[in-house]
Amino acid sequence: MGNDKKTAAITKAKKNWLWNWAEPESTPTVLPKSKTERLALQAKLANIDAERAVSRAYQIELTRTKAVSEAMYKSGKALRYSLTSSARQILLRTEAARREFEPGYRNKKF
C-alpha cells in the first residue's frame, strides 16, 4: 500500500457502473450561496432522479410482464393443440379397433 491513496475507502471505486446514479441534468451546475437553498435544490433534483428511476423500473416491469404473458399464451396454445391431437389420435385408434373387432361396424361397401 502506497501513500498515494486519495480516499479513506477500503474498496476500490468502480468507474464503469451499469447505471448512472445521477442524471447529468440533475446535478446542479450553480449552487446557491444559502445552505437552505442548496439543500432544497439538491432535494428537488434527487426527487427528479427518483421519479425517473421509478419510471424506468415501471417500464422494465411492463416489458417483463408482457414477455411472461406472451409465453403463457403460447404455452396454452401449444397445450390446446397437443390435447386436440391426442384426442384425435385416441378417437382414430378407437375407430380402427372397432372396425377391426366389431362385426358390422361401418363396413366398407363398394
- The one-letter amino acid at 15: K
Rounded CA-CA distance 86/70 in Å is 24
Provide the mean pLDDT of the chain: 82
Residue 4 — very low, low, confident or very high, per pLDDT cuts 50/70/90? low
Q: How distant, in Å, are the alpha carbons of 15, 21, 95 from that of 7?
A: 15, 20, 83
On the question of pLDDT at 41 being above 80, the answer is yes
At residue 1, the pLDDT reads 47
Helix (H, G, I), strand (E, B) or coil at 7: coil
